Amino acid sequence: MRVGIGYDVHRFNGRRPLKLGGVRVPSSRGLAGHSDADVLLHAVADALFGALGEPDLGEQFPPGDPRFRNADSGTFVRAAYATVKRRGWRVGNVDATVIADAPKLVGYKARMSRAIGRLLEVDAARISVKAKTTEGFAPGKSGIAVHAVVLLTRQRT
C-alpha cells in the first residue's frame, strides 16, 4: 500500500465559474488560477503523485506554461492516474476535505465523488468529499482550500 497527501488553495476570482471536483457549483465567484483552478482536483492529483513519490503538481504542470492556461483540471488527475496504473497500482480510496465558508456544498458532494470516481475508474463509494467551514479563519471568505488523502493498493493480475 501507498498513501499520498495532497493540498491546494486558490483565492476567489469573479471572472470564471466555480468548479470543484469536476462539478460546476453555482457561485458568484470562481477561483483564480492558471488552469480552471479546480482546487479539489488539484489536491487529488497531488495526493496521487505524492503516493508514488513523484514531483508535485506544480512541477509536472508548471503554472506559467501556456499549454495549461484554462486547462480542465481533470487532465491533471488523468495524468496522475495513468502513472498510478503504469506503476502497477490502483486507487483504494480518496478522502478529501474542502475548506471554505462559501458556497455551501450540500447537494454537490455526491456529484463530486461520482466525477472523481469516473476519473479514477473506481466506484464513487470509494471517494469521500467532505466540506468544512473555517468559522472566519483563513481562507474563510477569501478562497477555498482542500486536503486530500489517497490510498493506493497493488493491482491484481
Tell which wins on pLDDT, 15 or 75: 75
CA–CA gap between residue 33 and residue 69 (Å, rounded): 9
SS3 34: coil
Confidence (pLDDT) at 87: 96
Confidence (pLDDT) at 139: 62
CA–CA gap between residue 44 and residue 57 (Å, rounded): 10
Considering the chain, what is the average pLDDT of its residues? Answer: 94
Is residue 82 over pLDDT 90? yes
Per-residue pLDDT, averaged over 52-58, amounts to 95
CA–CA gap between residue 122 and residue 56 (Å, rounded): 23
Please report, for the chain, the start and end positions of each structural domain, with discontinuous segments joined by +: 2-154
The CATH number assigned to the domain with range 2-154 reads 3.30.1330.50
